Chain A
Amino acid sequence: MTEPILQFEGVGFSYRRHAAPVFEDLSLDFPRSAVSALIGPNGAGKSTLLFLALGWLRPAAGCVRLEGRPLQGYSRRETGRRMALVPQREHITFEYSVLEYVLLGRTPYLSPLAQPGPEDTAVAVEALERAGLVEVAQRPVQTLSGGERQLALIARALAQQPSLLLLDEPTSHLDLHNKARMVDLLRTLGREGVSIVMTTHEPELASALATHVVLLERGRVLCAGPPGDVLTAERLGRLYRMPVEVVEVSGRRVVLW
């Protein structure tokens, strides 16, 4: 087995000094070139875990490793080239065109005084192509529909050419059609070898997309493994503290309650 892309080793974290810790001694690996889904109730620490992976939050104890090296060992630009964040949604104040917005993803490749050149534009346009946004690329971001905006967020992350993509509930605001677009895009990326870690409230999404599933409960790992082993009625029932039923429909698991 190859080395994991992202490792948490005995990580402890709390938002305030005396507040209850979000994580105590959390150890967890995310396999390379896999689509990993983090499932857990609200407040389980899913987003916090993403922020710790990003280095935006720092663990009070333990260590987060990216490709085997502790995060502190990387420069800011190095991490920006290796991993990209797709937040749940982003408030964009000024009227950037979609292309200008996606170009921001090139920031980690530019020295502090440099500006994006034609090669950067080419990468950004390619990212737009993959997200299916070329037609709307010159419109202000604000004029996009919610689904297109989510795809624009992904396009910006793709312009970073990351080997690890962190997504915070990527489908939570999407209708069925856009959800399908998003799943297709993420699946393709996964096949191309991009490691993906995403949080989600939808076991169905994890079952359709993920190759590795982690159930997170109040900062502890309830269980982790292939979706077939993890997404069972017994385990999901324990996670959400309610009886659920899991049925399999054309190869996918659907949760009923």
Chain B
Amino acid sequence: MSGPPVSPSIALQHAHERANHRRRRSLALLAAALLLLFALSLAAGRFPALRMMAAGDAPAADLARRLVLELRLPRCITAVAAGMSLAAAGMVFQTLFANPLVEPGLLGVSQGAAFGAALSIIMLSRSAWMVQVSAALFAFAGLWTSFALARSIRYGGWVLRLVLAGIAVSAMFSAGLGIMKYVADPLRELPDITFWLLGGLTAATWPAALSILPAAAAGIAYMLAQRWRINALSLSEEAAHSLGMAVQRERLLLLVAAVVPTAAVISVAGIVSWVGLIIPHIGRRMFGADTRHALPATMLLGGLFTLACDDLARTMLPGEIPLGILTSLAGAAIFLVLMVRRGIRMER
């Protein structure tokens, strides 16, 4: 090494800028990988034959074109939107609650949404809009109840109280869901409900994909726009307040931005578990804790993970494997590996 000596402070500043630059480049690579997988996913499938589609498959071309445009395209879009929404929501929840083990599912959001969807299927209407609205309403109800309960529990730290309350609320909703299943018409309604609990993208046609895109895009855009400030909300409330943040309002807006897309995704895809819990850990491990980079990374990784799982779900066996089963399987396996290799670190 030659040149004049650089003061440690200048060196530190440069190292920081370089690291940021490196992270931005890695983000671009991840985005490229997602695009590539997306293109491959459109081509991959049981038709035509058991191989990739070639441009010159003339006789089947029309059918193939319709297959790609009307079945695979909306489904892949939904998979990516779902993965991005769930992973981002998971990271926002973990950061806001300063707890690496929460995800929307742990705070009554998923069970609430599933209950709301079942309620709508049985009592109100099976139309996609109605089911989604009902799912979203009950997702919020679940979150709010967990929150209110956690506030009134008189012992334990905030995190413990929140998790306890979330367990109780989730259990209530799944009991309610049990009742719904029990009274449901076994031929028409029950299969619809069962679908929620396993999760899957068979219902992801164009109308469904288009119906979740606005909610997913709005939520994701807001979370992305706030990706720096989310960091400060992981501090104690008084510390965040002293940094000039409107803690209550900003926290609430972010929770809404996380829950709305989650509820929308659940209403189409059912409960796709583990994405919101495990992907943020991978994102943080690769990009550091700063949500400036970890949040976009988590979104891209969530899209990649869910799309890959869905590709497997629809191509691995002659019949379709429910997506939620695959994400659980893969997610839990990754979680175990990370835990054993101390990839998940926390104080207490």
A104 to B95, CA, bound (A): 14
Would you call A96 and B289 a contact (CB within 8 A)? yes
Stretch of B121-129, B163-171, B221-229 with 4 or more beta carbons under 8 angstroms from chain A: B221-229
- Assess the A92–B244 pair: CB atoms within 8 A: no
Q: Is the CB of B12 within 8 A of A93?
A: no
Asked whether A160 lies within 8 Å of B241 as measured between CB atoms, the reply is: no
CB within 8 Å of A: which B20-54 residues: none
Any chain A CB within 8 A of the CB of B75? no
Q: Which of A94, A97, A99, A138 has the most CB of B within 10 A?
A: A94
Which residues on the B side are within 8 Å of A105 (C-beta)?
243
| Chain B positions within 8 Å of A95 at CB level | 284, 288-289, 345
Chain B residue nearest to A168 (CB atoms) is: B238
Q: Is B243 a contact partner of A93 (Cβ separation < 8 A)?
A: no
Contact B238 A56, beta carbon cutoff 8 Å? yes
Which of A107, A129, A166 has the most B CB atoms < 10 Å from its CB? A107
- Chain A residues with CB under 8 A of B347: 91-93, 142
Interchain CB contact under 8 A, B289 and A94:
yes
User: Taking the complex as formed, is B314 at the interface, i.e. its CB lies under 8 A from any CB of chain A?
Assistant: no
Residue in B closest to A50 when the chains form the complex, CB atoms: B238
List of A residues within 8 angstroms of B9 by Cβ: 125-126, 128-129, 134
> Which of A81, A107, A118, A135 lies in contact with B229, CB distance below 8 A?
A107
Stretch at the interface among A72-80, A195-203, A204-212: A72-80
Cβ of B239: which chain A residues have Cβ within 8 Å of it? 85, 87, 90
Please determine whether B244 and A80 come into contact, CB atoms closer than 8 angstroms.
Answer: yes
Contact residue among A91, A113, A121, A134 (Cβ-Cβ distance under 8 Å from B225): A113
Distance, CA A100 to CA B284, complexed state (A): 14
> A94-B95, A112-B229, A122-B13 known; A160 and B243 CB under 8 Å?
yes
**Provided the pairs A110-B228, A142-B347 are in contact, do residues A91 and B236 lie with their beta carbons within 8 angstroms?**
yes
A137 proximal to B (CB < 8 A): yes
Pair A93/B98 contact, Cβ less than 8 Å: yes
B318: Cβ under 8 A from any A Cβ: no
* Interface 0/1 of A27-60, CB less than 8 Å to B: 0000000000000000000000001001110000
B231 within 8 A of A: yes
For B235, the closest partner residue in chain A by CB is A90
Q: Does B15 contact A (CB under 8 A)?
A: yes
A window 97-143: CB within 8 A of B? 97, 99-100, 104-105, 107-108, 110, 112-116, 118, 121-122, 125-126, 128-129, 134-135, 137-138, 142
Q: Which 3 A-B pairs have the closest CB atoms?
A: A80-B244, A108-B244, A85-B242
Q: Could you list which residues of chain B lie within 8 angstroms of chain A, going by C-beta atoms?
A: 8-9, 12-13, 15-17, 95, 98-100, 225-229, 231-232, 234-239, 241-246, 284, 288-290, 292, 345-348
Given A96-B288, A104-B243, A166-B242; 11 other pairs, CB 8 A cutoff: A80-B245, A81-B244, A93-B100, A104-B235, A107-B232, A112-B226, A116-B228, A126-B9, A138-B16, A142-B345, A157-B242
